[in-house]
Amino acid sequence: MKPLDLTVLVHEGPQARAYLVGLRRQGLRPRRIVLLVRERHRGTGKVWARGWPQWLRRPLLERLQDSAENYWPRTFLRQHSSEVAQVCTALDPVVGRTREFVEEMYSGFRYRDYGASFERVICDGWRDERLHEVMRESGPVLFTGGGIVPREFLELPGVTVLHVHPGNLPHVRGADGLLWSTLVRGRPGFSCFRMEPGIDTGPILCAEDYPPLQIPIVASSDQSDRLYQLLFSFVDPLLRAHFFTTRIAPGGVGEEREAQLQSEDDGVTFHFLHPRLRNVALARIFTGADSEAETLPTAPVVAGSFERPVA
């Protein structure tokens, strides 16, 4: 395995697992994996097992967050395996051997098997000094979570945070990127950029449109919440991982890599979709009929040459 000068900051869930499986497939081994172990329940805001001894508390917290953050992928694999199979078949032209990819993410997966070093940090969010202490001078860091990361984390000394956004920047910024890309540009798009305090505004390493998604599952409106979860359990993580591990990681992720500055005036910042418009986007993806996906372009689009919308 070829070493990769990258710290993968793991926010437990399908996205982090997909990145690591994808890197292994490319024969790349990140220098370091840091697993965030959240001590506060995301739903209730309660701190778990406060005062418990560390040796007992850490595995408990890890188990709880694993159950919560991987609830939907595991539920689909257990109860709706035929739908997962259809998703895998649809992604095969892009990802390749997708079923094996998904199985690796959820059968006996261990973070320590994917990096040269592995550590865990119990913390209470991005502003926690315990996290800052572990992350200072880490060099390039791959962010695997979602939401807004505070400035104080992004400005830690010796740290450059990379993120893959599911939209072709600067055209599609903000939330629900995969669905907005489908609505606005007719296909998914992905961009890797160095994170800055603004929303999806940092310098772009690479941006690219992918072939339109066509998954042969019927998008009935009463199933839209479930299809939304299906999309974010497998489709979005696997495509982001494909983009990062084939377009970004092989060329290196350090400061020496050229990046294209963005102007905040370019593009549109989108917000979470209303359920009715979300249904329209889902119906474009879950087509309910067999269809052949386009093949991917073989050469990556370099920063600065990404496609502009038709004038």
Partner 1 sequence: MASLLEDLVARRPDPESHREVYEQLCRKLEVFGRIDREYTTSWRRRRSPEPLADQAWPLLVEALLLGAEKRDESNPGFRLKCLNAACKALDRVSTDALEAPARSALESRVNYLLDCEGP
Q: Which residues bind partner 1 (CB under 8 A)?
A: 171-172, 180, 183-184, 267-274, 276-277, 280, 283-284, 287, 309-311
What would you measure as the largest C-alpha separation in the chain, in angstroms? Answer: 62
Select 134 or 172, whichever has its Cβ closest to partner 1.
172
Select 121 or 199, whichever has its Cβ closest to partner 1.
199
| Least separation in angstroms between CB 80 and partner 1 | 22
| Least separation in angstroms between CB 176 and partner 1 | 9
| Least separation in angstroms between CB 173 and partner 1 | 10
Select 3 or 309, whichever has its Cβ closest to partner 1.
309
| Least separation in angstroms between CB 269 and partner 1 | 8
Select 110 or 274, whichever has its Cβ closest to partner 1.
274
Q: Which of 230, 304, 224 is nearest to 82 (CA)?
A: 230
Select 74 or 284, whichever has its Cβ closest to partner 1.
284
| Least separation in angstroms between CB 227 and partner 1 | 13
Contacts of 232 by beta carbon, 8 Å cutoff, 6+ apart: 14, 72
| Least separation in angstroms between CB 175 and partner 1 | 9
Helix (H) or strand (E) holding 288: none
Measure the CA–CA gap between 113 and 120, rounded to whole angstroms: 14
Q: Helices 71-79 and 98-106 sit at what angle, rounded to 10 degrees?
A: 120
| Amino acid identity, position 230 | L
166: helix, coil or strand?
A: coil
| Least separation in angstroms between CB 182 and partner 1 | 10
Select 50 or 276, whichever has its Cβ closest to partner 1.
276
- What does 63-130 look like in DSSP terms, one character per residue? HHHHHHHTHHHHHHHHH-HHHHHHHHHHHHHHHSSHHHHHHHHHSS--GGGGSSSEEEEEESSTT-HH
Contact 243, 21 (CB under 8 A): no
Considering only CA atoms, give the Rg of the chain.
19
